[in-house]
Amino acid sequence: MTFMSSDEFETWAAKPGRTAEEIRERATELEVQLHHELVESSGHTVAEYESSSQDRRDQMLEQGAEAWINQANQQEAADIAADEDGQREAQSQLCGLFSSIFPSETNGQLFAERYAEYWAEANPNLPIYWEIGAMKALAEAMIAAGEFPVTRVYKS
């Protein structure tokens, strides 16, 4: 039996001639399969799970859920990082917000290094991508600390 998404299941169940019993049976099979995949995502076998105490079973399910969440976070971060237009837009927004600091190459390099350092610390195991909220907070902190060596002054 292959896993079905909820949309695929709905399509399968809506086909003419499916009985309520067939649908319940298939739903139960898929639920069991999903549960087994959750257990296995925790790094344990179904046999280990079934022979464990209730507390240990709960821990295994939590570990499996954590693994799924981490995997989803990884995929989301990779998708965002791969969105070149979105990444350019975030950088443009930052430059617009702090026009006296950017586009100095010196400031830009310093900012990029610091951003990568803090991103890795705050988001271990996630690909680095430009996120405007994080970028703005870091730029404001660096400005307040006087860390940017180049500041442009506009005269009117």
Is the pLDDT at 128 greater than 60? The verdict is yes
Task: Give yes or no: residues 125 and 76 share one domain.
Answer: no
Task: Give yes or no: residues 55 and 100 share one domain.
Answer: no
What pLDDT is stored for residue 4 in this prediction? Answer: 83
- In the block, tokens 């970028």 appear at 135
Is residue 151 within a helix (H) or strand (E), and if so which, with residue range? none
What pLDDT is stored for residue 52 in this prediction? Answer: 95
Task: Give yes or no: residues 13 and 60 share one domain.
Answer: yes
pLDDT interval class at 25 (50, 70, 90): very high
- In the block, tokens 């195991």 appear at 125
pLDDT digits (tens, 9 = 90+) for 59-77: 999 999 999 999 999 999 9
Is the pLDDT at 155 greater than 60? The verdict is no
Task: Give yes or no: residues 99 and 45 share one domain.
Answer: no
Domain boundary, last residue among 82, 116, 148: 82
What pLDDT is stored for residue 154 in this prediction? Answer: 54
Domain boundary, last residue among 82, 112, 142: 82
Task: Give yes or no: residues 146 and 90 share one domain.
Answer: yes
Is the pLDDT at 21 greater than 60? The verdict is yes
Task: Give yes or no: residues 24 and 8 share one domain.
Answer: yes
Domain hosting 10: range is 1-82
What pLDDT is stored for residue 50 in this prediction? Answer: 95
Q: What is the mean pLDDT of residues 110-139?
A: 94
Task: Give yes or no: residues 67 and 3 share one domain.
Answer: yes
Q: How many domains does the chain have?
A: 2
Task: Give yes or no: residues 11 and 77 share one domain.
Answer: yes
Alpha helix segments (H runs only) across 83-145: 84-97, 105-122, 132-144
Q: How far apart are CA 106 and CA 150, in angstroms?
A: 7
What pTM did the predictor assign? 0.65
SS3 content of the chain, % helix, strand, coil (to 5): 70, 0, 30
Task: Give yes or no: residues 103 and 133 share one domain.
Answer: yes
pLDDT digits (tens, 9 = 90+) for 33-46: 999 999 999 999 99
Is residue 70 within a helix (H) or strand (E), and if so which, with residue range? helix 54-82
In the chain the first and final C-alpha atoms are separated, in Å, by 72
Task: Kindly state the tokens that stand for 48.
Answer: 């280990």
Q: Cβ neighbours of residue 88 under 8 Å, at least 6 residues apart?
A: none
Domain boundary, last residue among 82, 98, 127: 82
Q: How far apart are CA 10 and CA 45, in angstroms?
A: 30
pLDDT interval class at 152 (50, 70, 90): confident
Task: Kindly state the tokens that stand for 5.
Answer: 């998404």
Asked if residues 126 and 77 have their Cβ atoms less than 8 Å apart, the reply is: yes
Q: What is the mean pLDDT of residues 87-110?
A: 90
Q: What is the mean pLDDT of residues 43-64?
A: 96
Q: Cβ neighbours of residue 38 under 8 Å, at least 6 residues apart?
A: 61, 64, 65, 68
Task: Give yes or no: residues 64 and 125 share one domain.
Answer: no
Task: Give yes or no: residues 98 and 131 share one domain.
Answer: yes
Task: Give yes or no: residues 12 and 67 share one domain.
Answer: yes
